[in-house]
Amino acid sequence: MKYLPLNAEIFNKNRERFSKELLPASIAIFVSNDEVPTNGDATYPFKQNSDLFWLSGIVQEDSMVIIFPDHPDPKYREVLVLTRPNELKEKWDGKRLRADEARKISGIKTIVWVDSIKALLQQWIHLADNIYLDSNENDRKANFFPTHEYRFIDEMKKSYPLHHYHRSAKIMKSLRAVKTALEIEVMQQAINITHNGFLRVLKFIRPGVMEYEIEAEVLHSFLSQRATGPAYSSIIASGDRARTLHYISNNEQCLDGEMILMDFGAEYGGYCADLTRTVPVNGKFTRRQKQVYNACLHLHNYAKSLLKPGITIIDYHQKVGEEASQVFLKIGLLKKTDIKNESPEQPAYSKYLYHGISHHLGIDVHDLGPRTEPLKQGMVLTVEPGIYIEEEKMGVRIENNVWITRNGNKDLMEKIPITVEDIEAIMK
């Protein structure tokens, strides 16, 4: 790992929170993600199962976390399963964790090698009445692929058909949405790295530069600050391409007079940042660009003011939509008749703002969290309204990350330049 060692208390606290949610006489088992092949004998870079990482901080294939709070032998109440180090394999693929290294990372004292876990697991399961297994229940999951966790579910149910099975994902969705102060410290580091990357590209952008050159500057900045890399594929979209929400080709030239929408964030210590800014390629907003940008910034600040414990994402989006209608009237995008004749299913503002305003953020960029339940203290969400105008070939989006507090929220990106004046001053 490129990042500095994290405080193992993060993962100790997370396991403690999870254990409290289990029924008596329960064992919970989490398995790592697959190593996924590309072509030939190559594999994609390994990405750990987010739930397993949240519980242990371990980023290694063929790993498991087993939690059994009521095991009669205390040393088996938390177990970390790892691949046994193999000298020949390490010559090809690099060093694997030793037991003492894994203990320092995870805080789990009992380490078991994966080649001996089957017999031990059978003994432990016979002591349990309930088995909690993990699955991917992210609402944004686009397709069903038989990943390791689903294959493991099938294997367990076949081997132990008479136990009571439960979904760990339901618990994890609730717990992971609420960040501890220790987790926020790591997220803030990812945000600080992203901040520095943004300042770097502001001084680099000029007419004629290629989008991929800007992406390269972002990546250079991230890696030089110990980030694992980008938290997601960076969006560097100049001109009309800014209206494509997930534009990641980044292969066109940035022209004088255009604006460029940049949506990127660093991953540090397993946690993500997610920033969007829209800036003029030549360093100076035109009058119309400034008008639209400030309208978007108004929506951003308005949306941020609504995020506090008790509001639901659904109600929050409705209120922001109502404000967007009034803002779009002021800047000439809508007429009063457009709003009068709109339908609930297709509000007039959606022609120019056609995506959600916020999503949960954490170990995953689109992190686990409720969509219909009230927001709680400790949750972290993005705030990212946009204005996309096809007839003007223009797209603007402004995004910060906020932490829900007892009475409101704290903007974790409050130090990152956001106003027209600050952006122009840095680009000058």
> Is residue 148 one of the residues assigned to a domain?
yes
Residues 272 and 204 placed together within one structural domain of the fold: yes
Show pLDDT as tens, one digit a residue, over the chain (428 residues).
899 999 999 999 999 999 999 999 999 999 999 998 899 888 899 999 999 999 999 999 999 999 999 999 999 999 999 999 988 888 888 899 999 999 999 999 999 999 999 999 999 999 999 999 999 988 777 666 789 999 999 999 999 999 999 999 999 999 999 999 999 999 999 999 999 999 999 999 999 999 999 999 999 999 999 999 999 999 999 999 999 999 999 999 999 999 999 999 999 999 999 999 999 999 999 999 999 999 999 999 999 999 999 999 999 999 999 999 999 999 999 999 999 999 988 999 999 999 999 999 999 999 999 888 999 999 999 999 999 999 999 999 999 999 999 999 999 999 999 999 999 999 99
Residue 214 pLDDT:
98
> Is residue 390 one of the residues assigned to a domain?
yes
User: E strand or H helix at 219, and its extent?
Assistant: helix 211-224
The SS3 of residue 360 is strand
Residues 148 and 186 placed together within one structural domain of the fold: no
Residues 284 and 350 placed together within one structural domain of the fold: yes
Residues 348 and 400 placed together within one structural domain of the fold: yes
Largest distance between two CA atoms of the chain: 73
> Is residue 288 one of the residues assigned to a domain?
yes
* pTM, rounded to two decimals: 0.95
Cα 73 from Cα 92, distance rounded (Å)? 38
Residue 96 pLDDT:
92
Residue 142 pLDDT:
66
User: CATH number for the domain including 368?
Assistant: 3.90.230.10
Residues 65 and 207 placed together within one structural domain of the fold: no
Task: Transcribe 58-103 into DSSP letters.
Answer: ---TT-EEEE-TT-SSGGGSEEEEEPPP-HHHHHHH-----HHHHH
User: CATH number for the domain including 114?
Assistant: 3.40.350.10
> Is residue 3 one of the residues assigned to a domain?
no
Residue 224 pLDDT:
98
Q: Which domain holds residue 356?
A: 181-427
Residues 168 and 231 placed together within one structural domain of the fold: no
Residues 293 and 343 placed together within one structural domain of the fold: yes
What's the Cα-to-Cα distance from 307 to each of 44, 165, 358, rounded to whole Å?
A: 37, 36, 10
Task: Tell me the one-letter amino acid at 4.
Answer: L
Residue 334 pLDDT:
97
Residues 213 and 287 placed together within one structural domain of the fold: yes
Residues 380 and 395 placed together within one structural domain of the fold: yes
Q: Which two tokens stand for residue 421?
A: 């004046």
Bridge-based pairing of strands 78-82 and 110-113 is parallel
> Is residue 2 one of the residues assigned to a domain?
no
Residue 163 CA from chain centroid, whole number: 34
Cα 247 from Cα 135, distance rounded (Å)? 29
Residues 209 and 273 placed together within one structural domain of the fold: yes
> Is residue 4 one of the residues assigned to a domain?
no
Residue 341 pLDDT:
93
Structural domain tally of the chain?
2
Q: Which residue among 152, 176, 200 closes a domain?
A: 176
Residues 158 and 191 placed together within one structural domain of the fold: no
Residues 128 and 238 placed together within one structural domain of the fold: no
> Is residue 268 one of the residues assigned to a domain?
yes
Q: Which residue among 143, 161, 176 closes a domain?
A: 176
Q: Which residue among 157, 176, 195 closes a domain?
A: 176
Cα 153 from Cα 168, distance rounded (Å)? 12
Residue 41 pLDDT:
85
